Structure 1
Amino acid sequence: MSSAALAKADKRARVLVTPEGIAVPVKVASRASRFGALALDFMFLNIALVLFQILLSLTIGGAVEDLADAADQSISGAAEFLVVIRILFVFIAWYGYFLVQELGPRGATLGKRAVGIRIAARGGGRLTPEAVIARNLLRDIEIFYPLIFIIVTLITSAAGIDGGSMIWAALLWFLVFALFPFFNKDAMRAGDVIAGTWVIDAPRTKLAEALSTQGAAADATSETTGVRYDFGEEELSVYGEHELQTLERLLREARPEALAAVHATICRKIGWDPGAGDERAFLEAFYAQLRAKLEGDMRFGKRKADKHS
């Protein structure tokens, strides 16, 4: 199915083209699911902070009180130490929570995984640390800094300090970025635009048994046509671990249009012309033999990260 046909069938449907030239159908995450994921992540973080505060009070807090009773002196220094510990934990938890999870293989935080979405690079390549860091730093500027500014201004106004027009400036700041996803078709926020990312649906798939034990992957023979697919060293050398992982993901998702596109790309790359109608068997056999080759090479200390290695 072409990109235009996909877009016509579903307004959130897109086609992501990988660096290998493989067209992979994806669906842009809805704005509601993104908001829900952020709310869940914020809730998880706050629960972690409350638990840490309780743990800190039960451990270090008790020791500080004992020292104060024994020495009968000010504990301002110890109190300042506890404040520093809290600030450091909040900083590490806030940025570490998003960075570590989004740089992982799933490209998603706990909140995103709960609602079935993930981050992806718009160019089809791997998510880079620079992109993840950029989009997360921009989140603070887009949402949390103006919210904090609004809250502080309201508190000072309630205390009788006139903030003038600062509250309206902060509100405008917040609304510009909060409404940004509603003014582009891919529902991207400013951080996504800067980082070159977007958020897409990541539907849950039932965990299958090892692909190398299924269908043509097991004996290189198609159950449909009876054709045997054996690939040589030169043909298997064109791809590496990154392409193997991409192929495994596509085989598990089992989207016919994606498998057909991958089949055509690999055949063109290795110079094969097996015809149409048996794409999955071809890809299963290629996957199993490529995996066996890469694992064999690794035993001798040779690794091929991707097709460019």
Structure 2
Amino acid sequence: MSQQGVLGRFRRPRAPRVPYDGWRELVTPEGVDLKLKVGAYAERFSALLIDFAILFGGLALFSLAALGVFWATRATWSAEFLGVVWLLGVFVGRNFYFLIFEVGPRAATPGKRAMGLRVAAADGGRLTADMVFARNAMREVEVFLPLTFFAARGEGVDGALVSLGALWSLVFVVFPLFNRDRRRMGDLVAGTMVVKAPKKVLQPDLADTERTAARGFAFTHAQLDAYGIKELHVLEDVIRAGDRKSMAEVAARIRAKIGWEGPSDVADRTFLNAYYAALRGRLESRLLFGHRRKDKFDRS
């Protein structure tokens, strides 16, 4: 028997490739396993078109206002002054439009908000201003430079250089299509990604659950002071998500952290609801006396 035939007998069958459904699992620094849906290329492109429409529309109105002032004054000095102001306004709008919106608490421009998207840290951690600045600094190379090449015209050698520059810039435009998380070059440099941020529907039964779950549980002040406002929000997200695996992991962490010696046969969701209600009450009572504890590391 040939060598190829022998190897063929012992060759392992390839496992079927599971299609990527767009969901990504991220583990936060608090140890919470979250599932987020990556923003699709079409959604991101649509958001960019909306932002460009707002940006260029604002710049057009700004230009009309500058022309109106010049037409009203018709002075030589006003032409130079308004020219400088117009260039400054274009520079600020072009470079800080995306930065100002994405560095905010919603981490999304109006276009992203319209498409239900937001910027997030790729490692599940906190989105910092440095990350937002880095991803937007790369937009000059990824977006505005290709637009410059596509709008340029030339003949002979100049035309060939423009064509090569356009092809080189096209790589940045289609780059998100060739990676699973649809990350553009700026996202790779900054360590960010764009994910779906669907509107949360407030569950009306959570408040009732808080009041009833706290009955029968007694937590000491030391046990409640183990966490702060940030952990309270994370705990609320875990409870609302309702994932059994995540609730079991978080419940085990909290029990170990606070040294829980109560009944061990209590369901994880019941325990988390009770601790959430007690922790929220503790933080609110301390806030009345001017003590705001941001997270578990805040000793104020």
TM-score clears 0.5: yes
SS in 2 for 1:179: helix
Structure 1 residue 132: Cα displacement: 0.2
1:216 to 193, 209, 214: 209
Moved more, 109-118 or 48-57: 48-57
1:279/1:114 CA distance change after superposition, 3 Å: farther
Distance (whole Å) between structure 1 residues aligned to residue 65 and residue 205 of structure 2:
42
- 2:229 and 2:293 in contact (8 A); partners too: yes
Residue 234 (1) aligns with residue 244 (2): no
Distance (whole Å) between structure 1 residues aligned to residue 126 and residue 110 of structure 2:
20
1:294 partner amino acid: L
Distance (whole Å) between structure 2 residues aligned to residue 92 and residue 115 of structure 1:
25
Distance (whole Å) between structure 2 residues aligned to residue 163 and residue 282 of structure 1:
71
Deviations 1:190-224 (A, max 9, x none): 1111111111111122245696xx12323544xxx
- 1:215 and 1:284 in contact (8 A); partners too: no
2:167 to 164, 168, 172: 172
Q: Which runs of 4+ in 1 moved over 6 A?
A: none
Indicate the residue corresponding to 2:273 in structure 1.
284
Identical amino acids, percent of aligned pairs: 42
- 1:23 and 1:262 in contact (8 A); partners too: no
Distance (whole Å) between structure 2 residues aligned to residue 141 and residue 203 of structure 1:
30
Indicate the residue corresponding to 1:64 in structure 2.
73
1:98 partner amino acid: F
Indicate the residue corresponding to 2:100 in structure 1.
100
1:129/1:123 CA distance change after superposition, 3 Å: same
Structure 1 residue 90: Cα displacement: 2.1
TM-score normalised per structure 2: 0.81
TM-score normalised per structure 1: 0.79
Distance (whole Å) between structure 1 residues aligned to residue 264 and residue 53 of structure 2:
53
Indicate the residue corresponding to 2:11 in structure 1.
none
1:218/1:167 CA distance change after superposition, 3 Å: same
Q: For structure 1, which runs of at least 5 residues remain unmatched after alignment? A: 1-6, 69-74, 222-226
Q: In angstroms, what is the RMSD of aligned CA positions?
A: 2.8
Structure 1 residue 304: Cα displacement: 2.6
Indicate the residue corresponding to 1:303 in structure 2.
292
Distance (whole Å) between structure 1 residues aligned to residue 144 and residue 265 of structure 2:
53
Distance (whole Å) between structure 1 residues aligned to residue 94 and residue 59 of structure 2:
10
Alignment length (residue pairs): 281
Q: For structure 2, which runs of at least 5 residues remain unmatched after alignment? A: 1-16
Indicate the residue corresponding to 1:82 in structure 2.
82
- 2:70 and 2:78 in contact (8 A); partners too: no
2:117 partner amino acid: I
